[in-house]
Structure 1
């Protein structure tokens, strides 16, 4: 997981930064001893929980034998004997449907994610998105801070503020939590900017010509245990400076509310653990880069 160096380690307990750090830590545990490195053709594509490996072994032919690696971790091959993209993809689609039918995965999306060791590497297969966290697959997403910069030292109406969105209560993952203005998983065949432009229009009614002006600010990696498996995700971070009069409007039903908030209110939301882990990290990244974290403390 990326270091949040702009959250001072020496911050006194009870400050917004300390509460945010505690909330992130409480929600970001990862124990490699309870995982198997999930491998395809010698490349790691996921962190498979051992409990889920037991379920898959009951389905037959999905996993090879465990193998101990030099670093002390264990690895397992996914779909041994299937050596091409189409064969693996067909087997994974059948596996995902079986996992859904038996209640092991939920929130079927009819959306395909790449099975790959890296964004710039060829995919070895595709799989239904709903099964990605069960398998602990490496996934990719684009998140965008929607920024209204009114200058430092003023109240939210005239000072720096961010638009954020509340996830629909019907979402399979993190329902009802606060999120970045735009956030979306990257399907197979897309790229970070194309994913962002599409999600901008669907989630917030931001037209493509405006969305194309988003500024890229690197990647934050998230690796954490979840009840449904593992979130191993590379989040591509963007900022978009929005016109002062712009108001977002959801188009696809996945957002229940948009809110324009000043820095102090935003810190309070994050302190309460009401924002998703990845969105909290992306938001803190923007506040730190722009020198707004101190303004939030003073507000």
Structure 2
């Protein structure tokens, strides 16, 4: 998102507040991080403070190579994906036991430079952001047919990440072996009770990259954006306990929520993309 807003943005306090909230929550200092690599390909942005923690532990010796030109290799002495995955499994448990990561998921994320690239390894999802790994997610705007309104959801207070914040109607991380649409269809069913036959009609609208510092480490995520046109009488219902509530909302009220910083950063970007495409956003809000 551009640091410079159009003149119309400065004349609209809601627009200015949305932009300020995003900017405040999207800081990233490349100098405070190392490019984490495997086989010469970047797979993450490792905070330098976390590199020190990894070097101090002896549970997984040689987890990092020597830094060079702002980069550091992950498990340089491991020659294949199985060996790396085994070492990262041990490391993830150590990080959890030492209190460096929380919200254990029993779900594996790929260690990879790109969604289409073969995975160099897999790792417990809870440890991915400690290492600043590139991750992938699917987010969906629930657009109500025939109305100028959307459905959004509030994250459960028990969530390890962004508890209690507003989110897109459906949003979920992409585990190793899945793909954007399959991830979306699964999350539609679990989070909002949307049947697969309806979920598969979702329209893809590209990818938004998120790169920012967070308390857990780094969120470097490729977010696959979808819109789904929902029947006017459809009412979502949560099935997995990860959503506290759903709300039908018009754009003006939704902009106010985003201006207050009450919606997650990635969901805010995905929502702004939908509002802009439909001509529902206030003048001056920049496209993500």
- State the TM-score bracket (shorter-chain normalisation): over 0.9
Where 1:90 maps in the other structure, the secondary structure is helix
1:227 to 193, 203, 215: 215
Q: 1:17 offset after TM fit, Å?
A: 1.3
Report 1:127-146 matches (<5 A). Answer: 127-146=123-142
Residue number in structure 1 paired with 2:201: 213
1:117 to 91, 113, 119: 113
CA RMSD of aligned residues (A): 1.7
Where 1:293 maps in the other structure, the secondary structure is coil
CA distance in 1, matches of 2:152, 2:173: 17
Residue number in structure 2 paired with 1:48: 46
Q: 1:78 offset after TM fit, Å?
A: 0.3
CA distance in 2, matches of 1:167, 1:223: 21
Q: Which runs of 5+ in 1 are unaligned?
A: 69-73, 151-158
**Aligned positions, number:** 282
Residue number in structure 2 paired with 1:17: 15
Residue number in structure 1 paired with 2:175: 187
CA distance in 1, matches of 2:134, 2:189: 26
Q: Which runs of 5+ in 2 are unaligned?
A: none
Kindly indicate whether the alpha-carbon contact (under 8 Å) linking 1:163 and 1:261 is maintained by their aligned counterparts in 2.
Answer: yes
Whether 2:69 is the aligned partner of 1:81: answer no
Whether 2:65 is the aligned partner of 1:67: answer no
Q: 1:13 offset after TM fit, Å?
A: 5.4
Q: 1:36 offset after TM fit, Å?
A: 0.4
Cα deviation, 1:201-233, whole Å, max 9, x if unaligned, reads 000000000000000000000000011100000
| TM-score, L = length of structure 2 | 0.95
Kindly indicate whether the alpha-carbon contact (under 8 Å) linking 1:114 and 1:124 is maintained by their aligned counterparts in 2.
Answer: yes
Q: 1:37 offset after TM fit, Å?
A: 0.3
2:191 to 203, 213, 219: 203
CA distance in 1, matches of 2:168, 2:238: 13
| TM-score, L = length of structure 1 | 0.91
Whether 2:35 is the aligned partner of 1:37: answer yes
CA distance in 2, matches of 1:234, 1:9: 30
Kindly indicate whether the alpha-carbon contact (under 8 Å) linking 2:141 and 2:274 is maintained by their aligned counterparts in 1.
Answer: yes
